[in-house]
Structure 1
């Protein structure tokens, strides 16, 4: 039994699992599956591994109170085809020996599975809030929504959000982050939570930015600021501050390839690695995020770089 036939059988077993999950027992697909299963030893071994691997992975989350059930619901609720692509990649990683929790975290970030609103890898979502405002979440983002008669408050836990705010003078909408707060002044704006800082950019009207050091500043349409607990500073517009992701694309304007890869990473279910040399290559263009494999391949065709995809779990980018 060689690795290549087994790898192909794993792909097919994952497809069968997803295909049969909601079909009644009388559906002819079940008979076709039995023929596939009996065809060869590779198919039977692949099905044995796939049939048990997801439950095994979720069992490893039992130490995180309440999150095994939430993880299961989140993974099984992903829409096709992203669900097929991402769950397939995650199962493949598990079958090839990667850690269960880390793989599940690549599919649906474990730390934010209990958030009021969240997105998985490769997923975007737009919600209409109770006041009529529209909240858009980028891939791998999460937020809690705290609306009552006294306040309109959105707590950004991870990733990117954009809000199109409905005016309410008595309850200004506030986006809270780990590093400060952004108060809407009747506006459309974006906030990004990073590990050491946050970014705010305004697409319409203005916002009031307040940081933990007690300082506050008004941010106007077209401006972007980085902020942490010590204060804020203006930053040049970039992929990190533009809201193209709302429309399923990322626009690079003579910017480092490493920045583009970081922007694409929330849409890639496997491991994405780039060398320091390749990260410095300048890139210009508009890139679609809903077919990440094709986007990565096109970068290899148009830039002086090499994009090597190893199976479906790892992509490496380096200079030629």
Structure 2
């Protein structure tokens, strides 16, 4: 069954993306199509927003319309009868990888007060009334006291909507960084163990390195983002495309002319299996599009649209190659 989007609480850009995803789904009911036509014909702003959404859909959406070559047969390889030893080694390597990934997650979950599984999102409310939206594969540790509100982001990504309390500052610690709320809505992400990203949706935050308490914090304003990698200083705040960066909160991922290597790095956060790209030419393929935050659905769309082959080694490892 296919239903029209509920646009009542979404921006015009979000509405356009929702309609685009539905209209490209291939299973649009007559009722939904009539609703779309009414929305599209309502005014020029709607039509402009839809055109911009189509531009985001870009090259991948265009490729999806094209039937793959007749000789293209994606591979699903779990064992190779003629090479049992190599197949066994591959399966063993996959199992070891799965255990290593599971060990890291288990360690963070044991230290956390709140956590989400891969592919899960969860909304929580803290004791002070602040709200936190946890993205996929996220773990938080809460350190509350009479004079401070401190949250440790052990892994993953979370959005914070902070309740004001002049006597207790609200701070999020992620790796080597500390992000202090200045009455705000912001999110903090750890896309890798050695990397931190801060995006500000409302008001501002102050960011510092935890081992440099005597150095002035960098203020990041609404509509800006800041990134940090271990071994370097804090980058200067830069303008952020919040519609793209906040898409995960609406169950979507948006990419605009990005390398497949970067797209897969993001996809790996939503996929239970580790996805690896084989070949520099494959890694540099360009991707634009709007995808659901569903690891399997997105992997399938990328594979088909870019005419790639897929080799699965057990449940923990998938290789995309030409």
TM-score of the two chains, using structure 2 as the length reference: 0.62
- Which of the residues 181, 186, 202 maps onto 2:200? 202
Match of 1:278 in 2: 282
1:112 aligns with 2:113: no
Q: Distance in 1 between matches of 2:267 and 2:321?
A: 16
The more displaced of 125-134 and 267-276 is 267-276
How many aligned positions are there? 223
1:249 aligns with 2:246: no
Q: Distance in 2 between matches of 1:100 and 1:149?
A: 44
SS for the counterpart of 2:268 is helix
Root-mean-square deviation over aligned CA pairs: 2.7
Task: Tell whether the 8 Å contact from 2:98 to 2:316 is kept in structure 1 after alignment.
Answer: no
- Which of the residues 281, 297, 301 maps onto 1:298? 301
Give the deviation of 1:293 after TM superposition: 1.6
Paired residues for 1:1-320 under 5 Å: 97=92, 98-99=94-95, 102-103=98-99, 105-106=101-102, 109-114=105-110, 115-193=112-190, 194-211=192-209, 212-213=211-212, 214-227=215-228, 228=230, 230-234=232-236, 237=240, 242-275=245-278, 276-290=280-294, 292-309=295-312, 312-319=315-322
Match of 2:59 in 1: none
Check 1:188–1:246 CA distance in 2 against 1; reply closer, same or farther (3 A cut): same
Check 1:126–1:180 CA distance in 2 against 1; reply closer, same or farther (3 A cut): same
Give the deviation of 1:136 after TM superposition: 1.6
Task: Tell whether the 8 Å contact from 1:106 to 1:270 is kept in structure 2 after alignment.
Answer: no
Match of 2:17 in 1: none
Q: Distance in 1 between matches of 2:315 and 2:194?
A: 31
SS for the counterpart of 1:186 is coil
Match of 1:17 in 2: none
Structure 1 unaligned residues grouped into runs of 5+ = 1-92
Q: Distance in 1 between matches of 2:143 and 2:113?
A: 9
Task: Tell whether the 8 Å contact from 1:108 to 1:140 is kept in structure 2 after alignment.
Answer: no
Check 1:144–1:313 CA distance in 2 against 1; reply closer, same or farther (3 A cut): closer
